[in-house]
Every structure is written in C-alpha cells, then in structure tokens.
Amino acid sequence: MPQVPILMPQLGESIAEATIMQILVKPGDAVQADQEVMEVETNKAVMGVTTSCGGTVVSIGVSEGETLPVGAVMGIIEASEDELARSGAQELPAGAAAAAAEPQQEGAHFRTEGEYRESAQTEVPHTGGRGLPVPLGVRGAHYLSPRIRARMDDLGITEADMTYIVGTGAGGRITIDDFEKFLEYVDGWPSRQASPMRRSVADSMQRTWRRPIASAGRPIYMAPIILHRKSHPRKPGYTLYFVRALALALAEAPECAGYMVGGRILTPKHIDLGVAVQVSDGVLVPVMRRVDEYTLDELIDEFNKMVAQARSRRLDDVYKGGGIATVSNFGGFGLTFGTPMPLPSESFILGVGAVQKVPVWSDEVECFIPVEQANIVASFDHRVVDGGDIGRLMQRLAYFLEHPELL
C-alpha cells in the first residue's frame, strides 16, 4: 500500500524550524485526512500538524522535544490507493520509508576540549587567563580568527555570546586559548536548552541593538484612569488605556514611530500597535490594527480576545506582525521603571511601570500630599527622532491618560 509522509509544514514565512511539543498518535492508530497528529512550537506560537490523507500510522520517527527543519519527515501513514487519489497526497519515494522511520540522531553538543583537539588534530595551548563576563572595548577586541569562528560554528555560538570572554591577545583580541578556557570555566554549570521562543527573543534583541536606541521617561498621574475604570461597567484593562492613548498621540506625530531607510524617513501609514504579553519562556507581541480609529469602548472585546489568544500561543493571523510600536506593561510585575527594547521591525516602544503613591508638594495646601503615579518610558531609534520630539509626544500621551474621557 502507498506510504505517505507526515511532514514538518511551512508554518510561517520566516519560520525555518519547529520543536515537537506533543505527539498525539502512535503506530497502529487510524487517522483521518486533516487530523491533528502533533503539536509543534515555533518561535512565535504553538501550532498543530495535520495529516494530508487518511490511513494507518505506520511509524513515528521523532520524539517530543526534538527541533526539526521545515520539510522533515516525522512519520509515515499507510493509505489506500483510493484515499491517495482522493486526497491528492504525495506518496513517499521508494526506499525512503526505512530511512524516515529511523530514530533521529541527537543534536549537536558541546564537545570537550580533548574531543575538539582530537578532531582538529592540533594542540591547544594552556596559557592565558580565563574569560569573565566583562567585555573589552579596546581596539582589536572584536576580531575573531577563522579558527575561533570555525569552533563557534561547531558549538552554535554567536558573536554576542563572545562578549562574556576577556581577550588576552594583542589589542584585547580573543585567542583560541581564551575561548577554550572560558568553555572549561563554564563547563558543568547548571544549564537548560533555550526554547525556540527564547532563541527568537535573543535574536530580536541582538538585531535591535544594531541601532542607536535611546530612552526617556516621565511620571503620569494615575488617579483619572483609576477613577474612570472604577466607574466603567466593563472595567477595561489598564494596558488598553495606554494603548489607546499612544495611538492618539502617534496619530498626531507618526514620525516618532518612523523608519530610517537610506537617507529617507518613512512615516507609518496606519497606527497598528503591539502589546507585549508574557508567555512561557518569552514574550509574544500580538498587534491591534488602526487603534486610533476606534474608541476605548470599541476596543475592549478585541483587546481581551487578542491577549487571551497570545497567552495560549494560538494567535489568529490578523494579530501577527506588522506593528509600528509596542506597549509593554511591566508594572504588573511590580517594576516601577525599566528600559524596554523595541522589536527590530519597530522603532518605538512604550514601557509602563507599577502605580505608586508618592508625596507631591501642593501649593494649595502648602504641604506634601500622596499622589498615585506611574512611570512611563519610551525607547526609540535615535536616528529617526530626538529627545525633543519624544518629549512632546510624551506630553501629549500624558494629557490623554490624564483625561481618559477623551479615549
């Protein structure tokens, strides 16, 4: 009978691999066409893998926790000729079934210094100091020899990871001895494999830092929002107030979320705003569309639906990507101040701190009075706008927040 592969599907335009979270079938199980047989995790969400036809599961050649590239064969289904013709599924090429059913080899691991010496057939010197998490910023410190780069490729180490190592070579250069000594130094430390989500966050932050990112902040009075929310029958989330206020402020000054491309400043066409949502081992940023065109009341259902989907990591396509700025409410974790980092695809992010009661001098009563305040912090691409532009934007943002009836 024809044998049809269960393939790792293309789960997104920029997604090259996914990690298997759960296998829902076993050899001998009967399956229907389009039945979900596995759950996989990409750097953006948890998604289902479905069958291309009905039949019987012959083998599963992968295990939970494995990361596989798009197009990898994960299992085999035996189907009838009629089912194959009806579904249009592609049969596994002759001779490929046995190979597909074999257990996958374990992923790359950090070889010991001795194993590396043996494979490279060269002796690694044992002089020099051990790397510490203090990078050198002197001339020549960032040069990495071909030998070190080959070793980095072997271990899956990036240039950002190398900042933990102090170079002892000329001009602060990292030598192969510095590199091997650092690996020896951290060998045996407690560790865990970074999830696809964690690797995605790391990659995004590395790309963000290629730009000159600056931050500016100020306090805002929270009493108007608190009172407005108490009197509102549907109790909008505090984050939604900030999303809506930022949308109105950016609609008046969209260049604050613009892009610099070559010698041109590009201004966003629509005010599509992301919301940072904490999930397991990372952050998802679903996006609300044209936020400036809807009132706070009109946005409540959409906002709640979007956040719920993000927390379950099952976002509808309409919420994925394309934002011009993000709101990150880290105040929910008790943090009063922070410097949030914009996504590589954005040039602006607004951070919101926890509400505090602070003493503020009142000229009317000539004494300090308790006032509820929260710090807001804007991080932005300094190539696009300057502090004055951001200061005016933040003033306008504060005005909307302190007059929530306008939202």
pLDDT in tens, 105-164: 443 344 343 443 343 333 333 333 333 333 333 334 456 788 888 888 888 888 888 878
Q: What is the mean pLDDT of residues 329-344?
A: 91
Mean pLDDT of 187-194: 84
Degrees to nearest 5, angle at CA 269 with 268 and 270: 95
Q: Considering the entire predicted model, what is its pTM?
A: 0.66
Mean pLDDT of 298-326: 91
How many Å apart are CA 399 and CA 223, to the nearest integer? 13
Nearest residue to 73 via CA among 54, 55, 49: 49
In the chain, % of residues over pLDDT 90 = 46
104 pLDDT above the threshold of 80 = no
The 3-state DSSP class for residue 362 equals: strand
100 pLDDT exceeds 60?
no
Determine which of 49-58, 134-143, 302-311 has the lowest per-residue pLDDT on average. 134-143
pLDDT classification of 18: cutoffs 50, 70, 90: confident
388 or 135: which carries more pLDDT confidence?
388
Tell me if residue 25 falls in helix, strand or coil: coil
**Residue 351 token pair:** 């951070």
pLDDT in tens, 225-250: 999 999 999 999 999 999 999 999 99
Phi, psi (rounded to 5 degrees) for 291: -65, -30
pLDDT at 373 over 90: yes
Measure the CA–CA gap between 370 and 230, rounded to whole angstroms. Answer: 19
What lies within 8 Å, CB to CB, of 292 at 6+ separation is: 247, 248, 250, 251, 271
| For range 291-308, the mean pLDDT | 94
pLDDT of 48 higher than 70: yes
pLDDT, residue 305, reads: 94
Q: What's the mean pLDDT in 55-75?
A: 90
**Alpha-carbon gap, residue 258 to 148, rounded angstroms:** 39
Check residue 131 and give its pLDDT: 34
**Predicted confidence band at 218 (pLDDT cuts at 50, 70, 90)?**
very high
Residue 279 banded pLDDT, cuts 50, 70, 90: confident
What's the chain's average pLDDT? 83
Instruction: Please report the pLDDT score of residue 108 as a whole number.
Output: 35
Mean pLDDT of 187-202: 83
pLDDT confidence of residue 340: 92
Structure tokens at 396: 């306008």
| Whether 315 contacts 283, CB under 8 Å | no
Q: What is the pLDDT of residue 349?
A: 95
Of residues 311 and 106, more confidence is placed in 311
Model confidence at 14, pLDDT cuts 50, 70, 90, reads low
Q: What is the pLDDT of residue 89?
A: 81
Q: Cα–chain-centroid distance for residue 22?
A: 22
pLDDT band at residue 213, thresholds of 50, 70 and 90? very high
Q: Please identify which residue in the block is written with the tokens 């990659």.
A: 203
